[in-house]
Amino acid sequence: MFPTPTITHWLTLSALLFSIGLYGIFTRRNAVGVLLSIEMTLNSAILNILIFNRFVASDDVDGQVLVLFIVAAAAAEAVVALAIFVSFYRHRHTLDVTQANHICDQGNSAS
Amino acid sequence: MYDGTVATLFFYFFAVASIALALGVVLGRRLLRSAVCLIGVLGSSAGLTLVLGFEFIAGIQVLVFIGGIVVLLLFAIMMTSEGHTFEQRPSAARRVMGGVVATAFFVVTLSVYVHTDFPPATAEDLAVSHEDVHAIGRKLLSNERDGYIVPFEVISLLLLAALIGGIVIARKHDPEDT
* Biggest distance spanned by C-alpha atoms of chain B: 69
Q: What is the mean pLDDT of residues B98-118?
A: 91
Output the pLDDT for position B124: 52
10-residue mean pLDDT series, chain A (111 residues): 80 94 90 91 94 83 90 92 86 77 57 41
B58, with CB counted inside 10 A (0-12, 13-18, 19+), is buried
B89, with CB counted inside 10 A (0-12, 13-18, 19+), is exposed
User: What is the nearest CA distance from B98 to chain A, expressed in angstroms?
Assistant: 5
For residue A71, report the phi and psi dihedrals to the nearest 5 degrees: -65, -40
Count CA within 13 A, CB hemisphere, residue A95: 29
Cβ–Cβ below 8 Å for B105 and A22: yes
Output the pLDDT for position A58: 76
- Residue B80 at interface with chain A, using a CB cutoff of 8 Å: yes
ipTM of this predicted structure: 0.86
According to CATH, the topology of domain A30-111 is Helix Hairpins (1.10.287)
A–B: how many Cβ contacts below 8 A? 230
In which band, very low, low, confident or very high, does the pLDDT at B5 lie, cut at 50, 70 and 90?
confident
Q: What is the mean pLDDT of residues B68-89?
A: 77
Nearest CA in chain B to A78: B69
pLDDT tens column, B24-78: 998 888 888 899 999 999 999 999 999 888 889 999 999 999 988 998 888 888 8
Residue B85 has pLDDT above 70, yes or no: no
Nearest CA in chain B to A55: B121
- Residue B11 at interface with chain A, using a CB cutoff of 8 Å: yes
For residue A66, report the phi and psi dihedrals to the nearest 5 degrees: -60, -40
DSSP-assigned letter for residue B30 = B
Q: What is the mean pLDDT of residues B105-130?
A: 76
Cα distance between residue B38 and residue B53, in whole Å: 23
* Window from A19-28, B6-15, B168-177 with minimum mean pLDDT: B168-177
Nearest CA in chain B to A80: B166
Cα distance between residue A44 and residue A15, in whole Å: 7
Output the pLDDT for position B106: 94
Indicate the residue type of B108: V
With beta carbons less than 8 A apart as the criterion, state whether B86 and B29 touch. yes
Q: Is A102 left (phi over 0), alpha (psi -120 to 50) or beta?
A: beta
Q: Name the residue ranges covered by the structural domains of chain A.
A: 30-111
Bridge partners of residue B71, in order along the sequence: none
Q: What is the pTM of this model?
A: 0.87
Cα distance between residue B73 and residue A35, in whole Å: 8
Instruction: Give which of A25, A43, A14, A41 is closest to B42, Cα–Cα.
Output: A43
Positive or negative: CA dihedral B70, B72, B75, B77: negative
Output the pLDDT for position A109: 46
Cα distance between residue A58 and residue B53, in whole Å: 11
Residue B19 has pLDDT above 70, yes or no: yes
Average pLDDT, chain B: 84
